[in-house]
A and B are shown apart, each in its own frame.
Chain A
Amino acid sequence: MTETKTFKDRVVASLKNFGLPRLIITGFLVLLLVLAPFVGADLPTQISNIINRFSWNGILVLAMVPMVHSGCGLNFGLPLGIISGLLGATLSIEFGFTGRLSFLMAILIATPFALVLGSLYGWLLNKIKGGEMMIATYVGFSSVSLMCMMWLLLPYHSPNMVWGLAGKGLRTTISLEGYYNQALAGIGQINIGNISIPTGTLLFFALLAFGIWAFLHTKTGTAMTAVGSNPVFARAAGIDVDKIRMLSVVMSTWLAAIGILVYEQGFGFIQLYMAPFYMALPAVSAILIGGASVNKATIMNVIIGTILFQGIVTMIPTVMNNMIHMDMSEVIRIIASMGMILFALTRKTEASR
């Protein structure tokens, strides 16, 4: 019955697979790119922008993959991992590391935090199978607000980070100048005209993406996919489902920690306090826009999704502004990304048990 598929059928099927919302978003981005030169926006700058923003955000989106694979759903608890990254970043500076070394140290220091917090988080998620996404959201929020107190209370002293007047308590924004600003982006940066490509960051992303891809091809990675695909099957095949889920959560958390450090080195600042709040939803919608569903995601989804999402975010303000002198980027971004998440949630997927 499957042999005589006409070309048309296949196109229709693949379009259906692609999903209408995704089609609209892709079409919209293409439209924006086509329009850009006509309304006087500089296309190379725009493309350069997209590439840069891709390089900042890619790993945060990548952090979704392990948990989606193990059936824990979309990682709305991303802020937890981000906090580990922030702890690594601030401690690395506090200990007096500078330059590229501070980046490396930040990663090293963030790792144990990510492992511990990730394990706790994984343990919790194993207790509440089926309700992961909602609880993940609020675990993220609680941890961010808890850390708000901690940023004030922890005995940080580095004058570059604490409030000048009080001499204690971290600032909301900490400049990375002299620390790891552009630590990765600066490596082998290519500048052609208006386009600048942060080769180092892209390579770093590629490295991690390759790592995840490779992991998913190992025995354990295969088990993770199976757990996400059908946990009962996996259990019947002797897999310790809880352990695999825990591993995926720890991986997601660690990736989020690295992700925020990479983001910061591109952005040039550490943002503390309520800043991590905003981080989970864009990452979630990016991977969904890239074609992932609540329980399936690939590296390709990450790359496509991040490009589409960041493309829209960077293109709308310029094109719109030049065209109708109205900056609707924020509103369109919210509607598009939230609409995408809503769409994914209402899909009939086999709910993970």
Chain B
Amino acid sequence: MRSKRQILFRAGALLIVLLIAAVMFIIGRGHTVYFDNKTAEYNGQEYEAFHKVVVTVDGEQVSKLGKRDRGMADTMGQNFVMTLEITDEKGAQPHSHKVSMSLPYSMDGIIINIPELMAGLPADAYLSEFVVAPVEETESETAEGEDELGDEFGIGGDV
């Protein structure tokens, strides 16, 4: 009797663990969002960069962008909410916008072009993937291991 129950309970527990893992996969996905305040062209139309944009994520000001500036923020999950404080022209009164969007799961780095975004263009216009340019490593990082034998301390290593 008990063994049957136990199998049931075990299956249940395993399921819960797998479920948690799956949920973690979704809600824990981290993205790096880059904000561009650059003049961009879409379908032949040009969208002028703003004079100044202040980006706030989770109540924390992450960047102040002038023309042709790029800022970035690390986020977790696919729902991304930011507040933009836009100054169109020098000396103009800033106006604030709350923008929320859902980020594509597969992209690590996401570039958002703020002028295009504010112009209400579709996602494929203002959103593009940030690809890390393969950097040539100068220092050759060889396989560590030479000093692994022994219960040694990296002197100065912190615990």
Contacts and interface: CB of A to CB of B under 8 A. Distances in A.
Interface of A: 141, 274, 277-278, 281-282, 327, 330-331, 333-334
B149 to A, nearest CB: 5
A281 B155 contact: no
B11 to A, nearest CB: 36
Contacts of B147: 278
A330 B145 contact: yes
A24 to B, nearest CB: 20
B143 A278 contact: no
A277 B152 contact: yes
B152 to A, nearest CB: 5
A334 B152 contact: no
Contacts of B151: 141, 277
Contacts of B143: 327, 330
Interface string B91-103: 0000000000000
Contacts of A281: 149-150
Q: Which of B146, B147, B152 has the most chain A CB within a 10 Å cutoff?
A: B152
Contact of B152 (A278, A327, A330, A333): A278
B114 to A, nearest CB: 47
B124 interface: no
B148 A274 contact: no
B150 A277 contact: yes
A281 B149 CA distance: 8
25 contacts: A141-B151, A274-B150, A274-B152, A274-B153, A274-B155, A277-B150, A277-B151, A277-B152, A278-B147, A278-B149, A278-B150, A278-B152, A281-B149, A281-B150, A282-B149, A327-B143, A330-B143, A330-B145, A330-B146, A330-B148, A331-B145, A333-B149, A334-B145, A334-B148, A334-B149
Nearest to A338: B149
A96 B155 CA distance: 31
Given A281-B149, A330-B148, A333-B149, 7 more contacts: A274-B155, A278-B149, A282-B149, A327-B143, A330-B143, A330-B145, A334-B148
Contacts of B152: 274, 277-278
A32 to B, nearest CB: 19
A253 B125 CA distance: 76
Interface residues on B, range: 10 to 19
A330 B155 CA distance: 22
Contacts of A333: 149
Contacts of B146: 330
Nearest to B153: A274
Contacts of A141: 151
Nearest to B143: A327
Contacts of A277: 150-152
A278 B149 CA distance: 6
A330 B153 CA distance: 19
A334 B147 CA distance: 11
A148 to B, nearest CB: 8
Nearest to A138: B151
**6 nearest CB pairs, A to B:** A330-B145, A277-B150, A278-B150, A277-B152, A278-B149, A274-B152
A333 B151 CA distance: 16
A141 B153 CA distance: 11
A333 B150 CA distance: 13
Contacts of A327: 143
Nearest to B147: A278
B144 to A, nearest CB: 9
A282 B150 CA distance: 10
Q: Which of B147, B148, B150, B151 has the most chain A CB within a 10 Å cutoff?
A: B150
Nearest to B151: A141
Nearest to B146: A330
A294 to B, nearest CB: 21
